[in-house]
Amino acid sequence: MGKKVVIITSIFTLLIIFGGVFFLSQSNTPEVSASENAKAEVKTTTGDWGQIPMYKGNVTKTFTIKNIGRDKLKIFNVRTSCHCTKAMITIDGTKSLAFGMNTVSSWVGEVASGKESKLTVVFDPAYHGPNGVGLIERFVSVETNDKLNAKITFAVSGTVYK
């Protein structure tokens, strides 16, 4: 009886492991072709939250990504560097879902020629608890179909205090 339990438990464990590997290997990442005529313009990729009180709520920083090209600018694969940070893209008043560190999404935003999108970065200073004080720097990466700006990385810093 004991041997049977070990064998069944081993088989069940292997099924869970292989199922997890299969699930994680399935990607919702969109296949977006690069364009010579989509041009992302970003005035700045850095921001400063300054002094951040730990227990007074989230802080945000917004960046603008403008399409100065002739084709639609496609924005996708938005990721953050920490679970304490989320990012959203707003295009023509429509906000995307909140992207995080491990978010894998098939979402693709399209910015028309001459139009802008907004990248909003939201940081939760209480996420890491009482030990999460001091200087912090968080990153958000955004992929585009602009051949010259295929991946844009934004950095925001601040100092968390109790």
Can you give the chain as a three-state secondary structure string? CHHHHHHHHHHHHHHHHHHHHHHHHCCCCCCCCCECCCCEECCCCEEEEEEEECCCCCEEEEEEEEECCCCCEEEEEEEECCCCEEEEEEECCEECCCECCCCCCCCEEEECCCCEEEEEEEECCCCCHHHCCEEEEEEEEEEECEHHHCEEEEEEEEEEEC
- What local confidence, expressed as pLDDT, does residue 32 receive? 93
- What local confidence, expressed as pLDDT, does residue 31 receive? 86
Model pLDDT for residues 23-48, shown as the tens digit of each residue: 444 446 678 999 999 999 999 999 99
**Is 15 among the domain residues?**
no
**Is 105 among the domain residues?**
yes
Instruction: Work out the average pLDDT over 142-157.
Output: 97
Please count the structural domains in the chain.
1
- What local confidence, expressed as pLDDT, does residue 103 receive? 83
**Is 24 among the domain residues?**
no
- What local confidence, expressed as pLDDT, does residue 104 receive? 84
Per the structure, the complete domain to which residue 157 belongs is given by 40-161
**Is 33 among the domain residues?**
no
Q: Are strands 46-53 and 151-161 parallel, antiparallel or unpaired?
A: parallel
**Is 104 among the domain residues?**
yes
CATH number at residue 99: 2.60.40.10
**Is 17 among the domain residues?**
no
**Is 13 among the domain residues?**
no
